[in-house]
Chains A and B, each alone.
Chain A
Amino acid sequence: MIYRRSSIPGFLRDMLRFQDQMNRIFDASMTGSSYQSDAMPAMNIYTTTEDTVVTAEVPGVDIKDLEISVVGNNLTISGSREAEFTDENTTYHRQERTCGYFSRGIELPLPVEADKAEASLVNGLLTITLPRAEADKPRRISVKMT
C-alpha cells in the first residue's frame, strides 16, 4: 500500500522502515547462500600486509583448462572440468560432482598490482597471490616527541 508522506502516522512509518530493512536483509542473505553452489569454485580470501591471497578448490581441473584474469579490482576464475565417461555403457549410480564450464568473478577487498600476481595449482587447490598496490600498503607513522 502506498501512503502519501504527510499522512503516515509516526509509528507506522517506523514499521514500514523496519519492514524495508528486513526485506533487505533477506535479499542479501539469499544471494549470499546462492554462492554455495558447486558450479562456481568456493573461495577463501586472506589479506596480509604484503598481498592478498585467494584460494579456491578446483579438483580435477587441469592447468590448461584454467583461466585467471584480474581487471582492476575484479578477479575472475574460469575453467572447465570434463566428465569422466560419456558412452552409453556407463551408468551413473550417484553423481554429486559437477562437470563442465564454470566461471566466477569476485571483487577484491584491496587494490592490487595485477602485473605481479602469481598463481599455483597443487593437488586441486588453486592459490593466487596478488601483491597489494604500493600506495595502499599500510605505513607506520612514527610519533616524534616535541
Chain B
Amino acid sequence: MVGLVLVCHSAKLAESVAELAAQVGGGSLRIGVAGGLDQPGDPLGTDASRVARAIEEVWSEDGVLVLMDLGSAVLSADLALDLLPGERRERVLLTEAPLVEGAVAAAVAAGLGDPLQKVAAEARGALTAKASHFAAPATDAASAAEPLAPAGPAAEAPGHTLQIVVQNRLGLHLRPAALLVRAVAGFAATIAITNVSAGRGPVSARSLNAVATLGVRHGDQILVRASGPQAEEALAAIGRLAAENWGDPRESGPQGDEGASVSAPSSLAEGAALTPPPASGTVLRGLPASPGIAVGPARRLAADPVEIRESRAEDREADWAALQAALVAVGVDVRRARDSVAGRARGSDATIFDAHLLFLEDEELLGPARDGVLGEGKSASCAWAAAVSAAAAAWETLDDPYLRARAADLRSVGDQVLRRLTAAPSGRVPDGPALAPDRPGSGAAAGGAISAPVGADHDAAVIVVAPDLTPAEIAGLDPARVCAVACAFGGPTAHGAILARSLGIPAVVGVGRALLGLADGTLLALDGEAGTVTVDPPAVALKAAGDRRERRAREEAEAQAQAHRPAVTRDGVLVHVAANVAGPEDVPAAVAAGADGVGLLRTELLFMEADHLPSEDEQEQAYRRAAEGLGGRPLTLRTLDVGADKQLPYLHLEREQNPSLGLRGIRLGLRRPELLSGQLRAALRVAADHPVRIMFPMVATVDEVRLAGDLLDEARASLVAAGIAVPEHVEVGIMVEVPAVALMVEAFVPHVDFFSIGTNDLAQYVLAAERGNAEVAALADALHPAVLRLIERTAGAAAEGGRGVAVCGEIAGDPLAIPVLLGLGIAELSMAAVRIPAAKQAVRATDLAAARRLAGKALAAESAAAVRRLAGRR
C-alpha cells in the first residue's frame, strides 16, 4: 500500500490534515507527517530531515507520495529525496496537489490499494469536485453577463479568460470593485483585468486601487484573464458577480434620469458616503441646534493635517509593527461604524465601509508603506502618508468624476490611520486660508443681503459641513469666515451645539450621512430654527431664506431694543431671565444682553485656568468682580462641579471608568472639604455686600445637602471668629440634575431655599445617554416628555413648599421650549447671554393659560420630537 507524507510549516496543520485523510483511508493507511521545527517555541518551518524520516516511517515497496504546503516545504521535500538511499528515492513521488484535497483523495486511492502513479493522479485531480461545484453556475452567470468569445490573442495566452460588458449604472465604482476583489480573494489564481473599452490595464484583480483605476464605466467591456490552479473558479466567481449586477440594484427602465432616482437621502438613516450627493433642491432635515439663517457654500471641514514629526524610523521593526497596529485599530473603528450604520441604513450603504476596510488591506498601499518603513527606514507615518498620497493621486487622474471623488474616501481612511499612528487628536479647527471664501468677489463681510436669485451673491462666509464638531472645534471657527455649521451627527444638547448657540453661529445637527456627500462649494441654505439644510437652493428657496433672514434680523433688532425691559407674559406674569456665565469676564456681556441677573455662575473656569488651587482670596476677588458687574442684580454662585469630563490636574483625581456617574460636583466637595470650605468662605465674604446665592451641583441625597450646610455653617463661624463680615442669611439652593432629586423634591424643601433644574444633565441621566457621545447625544433631548414630567414634578412640589424653581439648562433659552417650561410652572430662566433678547421676546409672546395647555399636551406626548412638533405648531 502506498504511504503518504504531509509536509507542512506547522505540526498542527500536518496532524490535522493527516487526521482528515485517515478517516477516509481506512485502518491500514500509512500517513507520515513532517510539520514545524523541533526547536524551542515550536517555530513554523519545514525540516528536510524530518521529511526523510517520515518517508522512511511509511516506506514500503509500493512507494510514498509526498504532499506539501508551500515555500520551503517544497524545497525541504525535494532535499529529503537526497537524504534517502538511492533505491528508495525512485519510489517516492512529490506532488503539487493541493494539500487538504490532495491528501484526502490520495488517502482514498491508497486505501484502495492503487499503485503510486494512480494515487498521485488522484491527488492532483482532487480539485475537480470543488471546481465543478463552482463551475456549474458560472456558465449561466457568464451568459447572463454577455460573455464574448475569447479574442484570438487571448485564446493563445495561457490561462482562462472571460469578457464581460459591465451593465450596472455606475460601472466598477468603489463598491463593485470591492466586491470583485473580495470575490477573487480566496482563489489560487493570478487574475488580471483589462478595460478593453478604455484601453486601461491589465491590472491585478486583487487590488482595489488597481481595479478602480481601470475606470470601468457602464457599458465598458472588460477582459479578465486568470491562470493558476483555481483560474476557472475565480472567473466563475467574477461571472456570478457580473450576473448579479455587481451588487447594484437593477434599473428597470432605460437609464438616464440621472441622480434623482438614486439619491434622496435626507435622514440619519440614509445615505452613506457612496450615495451620490444630494440633488439640487433637496431639503436635508436635521435637528435645530442654534438659531439663525445662513446661505453660503459648503465647506467640508478639513482635518488639521496630521503633523508627521519623525521622518525616519528609529527602529524599523517597531515602526512597521506600529503601522500594522494602527491599521488593525482603524479596521475595528470602521467595522464599528459599519455595524452602526447597517442597523439604520439600507444594506448596500453599509458596504462602503467594506471598501474602506479593503483600503486597509490593499497591497497597493501596504506594499509601498512596508517598503518605505522596512526598506528605506522611513517612519511609519511618513511611509503611510506617502503611500496614501500616491494611491489617491492615481484615483484623481481618472476621467469619471465619481471615481475621482473616491480619492477622498481613501484619504479619509488614510487620515484615520495617520491619526492613530501619531496619536493626533481628531481636532479639526480650520485655519483661516482653508476657509477663505471661494469667490473673491462675493463680498467682504458676513451677513450680506440675499436679494438676488440663484448664483448671485451669498454670504462671504462658508457653511461648515462636518460629521460632528467638538466644542474646541466650534470655538475655533472664525465667525467672519463661517456663517453656519451643519453636522451629520450629534444632538442639540451636545457641547458643540451649545457652544454654537452661545457664539451665535446658526447650526443644524443630526442631518445624516448624506450631508457628507456634498461637494465643497455646493451652495447651501441653512435654517437653524427649522433644522433644515437646502442643497443648491432654487431661486424661490433662496428668496425665502433671504426673506426669513431679513425678518429674523428685524426680530433680533426688536428683541435687542427690548432686551433691558422685564420679560412679562401676555397675561402679566413676570419671568426672571438670567444669564449663565463662566466667570466675571462674561458679566458685562450678560448685562448688555439684558440679563436680569446671573442664574448660574460656573466657578470651574477659575479653577481650570489656574495651575494651582485658587486661594480663598483669589476666589473672593473673582466672585466680587462678577457681583459688582451686575450692579445689584442677583448672582447665583454654583460651587465647583469638576470631575466627570472636567479635570483639574492639581487635584490628582483618579481616572474613572464612568465619570458622569462618578465623583463630581457636591460628591467631590464633600470628599475634599478643603475645596468646598474655601469656596464657601469666599462666597460668604462677597455675599456680605452683594445679593449672592449659593448653589450645590450634582446633589443626589438629602444627606449631602445637610453635610454641605454644615460646612457652610462652619465657614460662616470661622469668618465671624476672624472678625470678617458675613451676611445674616444666604440663600442656599441645589441643582436638580439627578432624577432622584426631582422625584424627592419634598424631602429637600426643608433644607434649601431654591432649586435650579440643570436640564442638560437631567436629560442625560433620565435617558441614559451621554451628551458627549455623538452616537447617543441626540437621545438626551431635554424636551423628552420624561424630562418634562420631572420638571413639572419639581416645579409643583417646590411651589407647594414655597420654593422657587429655575431652569438653567439649554432649553431655558430655546424660544420653542420657553412656553412649555412656563406652562410647567417655571418662572425663572437662565441661559447663554446671547439668547436673552430672543428668550424675553418668547416670554412676552406667551399666554400662560395657553402655555399650560401646551405643557399638558407635551407631558402626554410620546417623544421629544412630538413635543417639538406641538411647540412648533403654536
Decide whether A and B assemble into one complex: no
Write the residues of chain A forming the contact surface with B, with a CB cutoff of 8 angstroms.
none
Write the residues of chain B forming the contact surface with A, with a CB cutoff of 8 angstroms.
none
